[in-house]
Chains A and B, each alone.
Chain A
Amino acid sequence: GEDVEQSLFLSVREGDSSVINCTYTDSSSTYLYWYKQEPGAGLQLLTYIFSNMDMKQDQRLTVLLNKKDKHLSLRIADTQTGDSAIYFCAESSLETSGSRLTFGEGTQLTVNP
């Protein structure tokens, strides 16, 4: 079945860039997503990328997709303490699973002042 993997922890200093990485196995993935979860809250959709794109930029966020290596990354520029949260990578495949999302385990981002 589909599998999505992320490193569990990332710690950066305020003002630095953060790069959160994700790998996936489903070659038929159609969309790849990044969600942010703060403590005790639901998931906030940050951005998503269609599988035929290599890059997407939205203000401080840059998503890079290497479809050949099935590798997705999220770069947060000028990381702030308010960016501290868990970041989930997720994928969906319209071909195999419709709108169902497969999530990674989540990366805990800690931003130190």
Chain B
Amino acid sequence: GAVVSQHPSRVICKSGTSVKIECRSLDFQATTMFWYRQFPKQSLMLMATSNEGSKATYEQGVEKDKFLINHASLTLSTLTVTSAHPEDSSFYICSAIDRTSSYEQYFGPGTRLTVT
């Protein structure tokens, strides 16, 4: 099946710094990518929808200035957590839609962010 990668898999940063997470579709082109946040033992919470070449659409309650999303190509979307705080510590997962098959959504392995 289709493969989505995320980098880094784990990151620890100090409070006040910014962290960039990359999401790549490795063997397909993705017109749409999604960013999720998952708290321990909970379901996935959609943060934003990222369409290639246009601005991301953020879910209600998600600060667009804090979680910057860039989808510059059909295979790469990035999420930057700006001025990170301990409450931003979480598991961030991206997913991508294969442009040839709009109903199949493939997920990355996730990025564990810890803010100290």
A-B contact pairs, 28 of them (CB 8 A): A30-B103, A35-B107, A40-B112, A41-B110, A42-B4, A42-B108, A42-B109, A42-B110, A43-B95, A43-B107, A44-B107, A45-B1, A45-B105, A45-B107, A48-B104, A88-B43, A92-B103, A92-B105, A94-B102, A94-B103, A99-B32, A99-B103, A100-B34, A100-B46, A101-B95, A101-B105, A103-B44, A105-B43
Chain B contact residues: helix, strand, loop or mixed: strand
Of B34, B49, B103, chain A has the most CB atoms within 10 Å of the CB of: B103
Which of A41, A99, A105 is within 8 Å of B109, CB to CB?
A41
A interface residues, how many (CB within 8 angstroms): 21
Point out the residues of chain A lying under 8 angstroms from B105, CB to CB. Answer: 33, 45, 92, 99, 101
Interface residue tally on B, bucketed by range: 20 to 34
Point out the residues of chain B lying under 8 angstroms from A101, CB to CB. Answer: 34, 46, 95, 105
A residues with CB within 8 A of B: 30-31, 33, 35, 40-45, 48, 88, 92, 94, 99-101, 103-106
Interface membership of B35, Cβ < 8 A: no
